[in-house]
């Protein structure tokens, strides 16, 4: 199992969190997604490492930005 964390910028409410969770959860290989609104912390669980570009693209699809 692999766990990776990212910081997401721009989320301001519960709907933002839901959007990010939904998009990231659709990335192939992702088994779990946790998003913490107050810190912007995105934790992604997967069976094997997932290409971070796919996670970043999913966050951007939801309308937010990953801080690098």
Query: Any idea where the domains of the chain sit in the sequence?
Result: 2-67
Q: Return the pLDDT at 59.
A: 98
68 — pLDDT class (breaks 50, 70, 90):
confident
- For residue range 7-46, list pLDDT tens digits in order: 999 999 999 999 999 999 999 999 999 999 999 999 999 9
Provide CATH code, domain 2-67. 3.30.70.100
The neighbour count for residue 38, using CB atoms within 10 Å, is 6
């Amino acid at each position: 199992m692999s766990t990776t964390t990212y910081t997401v910028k721009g989320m301001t409410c519960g709907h933002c969190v839901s959007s990010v969770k939904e998009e990231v959860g659709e990335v192939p290989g992702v088994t779990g997604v946790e998003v913490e609104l107050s810190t912007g912390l995105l934790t992604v669980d997967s069976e094997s490492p997932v290409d971070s570009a796919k996670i970043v693209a999913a966050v951007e699809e939801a309308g937010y930005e990953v801080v690098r």
